[in-house]
Amino acid sequence: MNVLKTFLATILLVGAFATEAAAQTFKDVPYDHWAHDEIRFLTDKAVIRGYSDQSFKPQALLSRKDAAVMMVRALKLPPVSNPSIKPADLSPSLGGYKEMLTAANKGMFTIAGNKFNPNGPLTREEMARVLAVAYGYKGSGKSSFKDVSKSNAYYKYIDAIAENGITSGYPDGGFKPSVTVNRAQFSAFLKRVYEQPLDYAIKQNGQVVQTEKTMDKAIQTALRYPGSTVHPVSNSLMTYESRPAKLADTGIKNGVLMYNGAEYQSSFSSSFFKPYLQKDGQKMFDTFVILGRTYSGGDLMETSNNKANYGDWKWYADRTFSSSGILQALNKAAVENGQKVQVYIAIPYPKRNEAIINLDGKRTANTLQAREQMVNWYMQTVQQRWNAAKFQNLVFKGYYWLNETVIHADDERLVTNTAARIHQGNKKFIYAPHARTTNFENWKYYGFDGAYLQPNTFRLDVPSPEARLHKAFIEAQVKGSGITLEIDTYSPHQINKGTPNFLLYLEYARRYGLKGQSLLFYQGTEMVYRMDQYNYEQVYEALGEFLN
């Protein structure tokens, strides 16, 4: 794998006049192009390049000769001295002769009728063979494609790259082995090679006890070793830390999510926040993320019930900055405790359907520009309210993207543009993706300063909680993110069942070195407040010990 980057950088430079360019500037790779993210990833890593006319030529095909030449040069394979395979259509005067001869004798390509077919396009089945042979991928014989029988000569190669997560075939259940490979498709193959670790190391007491090729196998193995952890092994392009990220730019060590939308009907007071600020003289949370999940007429997140307009967003801003609202109460508590804390304020998700109604009642067509204007208006409103409030002991650190995933191409642009605007104001931008989120690997590209993955294991009826926690902490290492610890808002009669679940969270957080890094804490609407009361002492004690 050490030579993989060199190979990939070379093979995608097919054609003269190649030049570096960011994927989003390629005139033929718009944001909604199916391989946009793959091309952007590889461009950012200096693996692929575009052309001098600012195009990428995603549909341009790769020839067998080009693939052979680049593979042999990248792998630094010496010419074969006594070749046993001598394709009849290769001659010493032909460009790339030595490389094609070497590739043929290494078994990378199929030689039919003793011909290499140098100018023939590379097919998907041949690409499978090239990758499987070059990088030693092995299969298990479990993959199944309707157009590739197990008796097919290419099955073992296709099975090998499928086993290693390089391909999953097409939605119709086929692999389409004879289809030619273009630059966009090859980019997708390459990103899959690079985005996964070389191996997963299972450690017990700090020592590697076993390695596995896939995350699922590694987790199952780890469950057999008490107290073990799983760590991704870095490849030639991606370097992984052995714990969740520090995320120093966010300024967050221990952050807590505080809900203040229509979902929270109680009032806030300075006494409410005392358990969040200190426990027995020791500081608890240094950062408070203020977010509202609902307004009186629906949701502020991306759901079918999100029909929020400017008036609804204004209602939430009014509620947040009210004289009896959450920020005033938090500031008063911080003053009384003699400590300063950071604040992030959530940005609601601007709906994608229906017209957007302005404060003056005017209806505006729902476009990306209109949604972006709504977000910009909201941030300007929040900043003005903050400036007017003059909180003594609160520091406005930045914004929290309320939605827990980024799915749509226009949302990618919206989030990216929002991040740029936030950074222009010297603020930070964070979010907390859920366990099954899409495009999580792109969070840094979108401009987020921090991402805090939710394991979503806090429900009492969740199956295999230990496996889910392992997976979340592995994903955090692979994606370079933080973690959201979670506990539900348990009533007194539920706490005995909920306590073991929460203690399991903390155990895994310790195992994986989360303490002292950067975390968010989901606690329903007021669980920490409840913890400082009778029947909750054990969980509050455990939380305080972990945070300190």
Tens place of pLDDT per residue across the chain (548 aa): 444 444 444 444 443 333 334 444 799 999 889 999 888 887 787 666 778 899 989 999 988 987 787 667 655 679 998 999 999 999 999 999 999 999 999 999 999 999 999 999 999 999 999 889 977 889 999 999 999 999 999 999 999 999 888 888 999 999 999 999 998 887 888 787 777 898 999 999 999 999 998 899 999 999 999 999 999 999 777 899 999 999 999 999 999 999 999 999 999 999 999 999 999 999 999 999 999 999 999 999 999 999 999 999 999 999 999 999 999 999 999 999 999 999 999 999 999 999 999 999 999 999 999 999 999 999 999 999 999 999 999 999 999 999 999 999 899 999 999 999 999 999 999 999 999 999 999 999 999 999 999 999 998 888 999 999 999 999 999 999 999 999 998 888 888 888 999 999 999 999 999 999 999 999 999 999 999 887 888 999 999 999 99
Q: Which two tokens stand for residue 529?
A: 């407040």
β-bridge pairing 294-295 and 298-299: antiparallel
DSSP state of 153: T
β-bridge pairing 200-204 and 207-212: antiparallel
Amino acid at 6: T
| Cα–Cα distance for residue pair 365/43, rounded to 1 Å | 35
pLDDT at 276: 98
Distances from the Cα of 340 to the Cα of 391, 394, 518, angstroms: 10, 6, 18
**Residue 288's closest CA among 329, 261, 263, 257?**
257
Q: Which two tokens stand for residue 248?
A: 């120093």
Amino acid at 30: P
| Domains of the chain listed by start with CATH number | 4-194 (no CATH), 200-232 (no CATH), 248-547 (3.20.20.60)
- Cβ(479)–Cβ(443) below 8 Å: yes
From the CB of residue 166, how many other CB atoms can be counted at a distance below 10 Å? Answer: 22
Burial category of 61 from C-beta neighbours within 10 Å (exposed 0-12, middle 13-18, buried 19 and up): middle
| Cα–Cα distance for residue pair 235/191, rounded to 1 Å | 12
Largest CA distance in the chain: 87
| Cα–Cα distance for residue pair 481/1, rounded to 1 Å | 24
Sign of the CA dihedral running 429, 435, 437, 439 = positive
Q: Which two tokens stand for residue 418?
A: 């929002």
For residue 211, the SS3 value is strand
Q: Which two tokens stand for residue 53?
A: 């006319």
Adjacent-strand bridge partners of 291: 259
> pTM value?
0.84
Q: With left for phi above 0 and alpha for psi between -120 and 50, is residue 298 left, alpha or beta?
A: left
Tell me the DSSP string of 177-208.
TTSBPBHHHHHHHHHHHHSS-S-EEEEETTEE
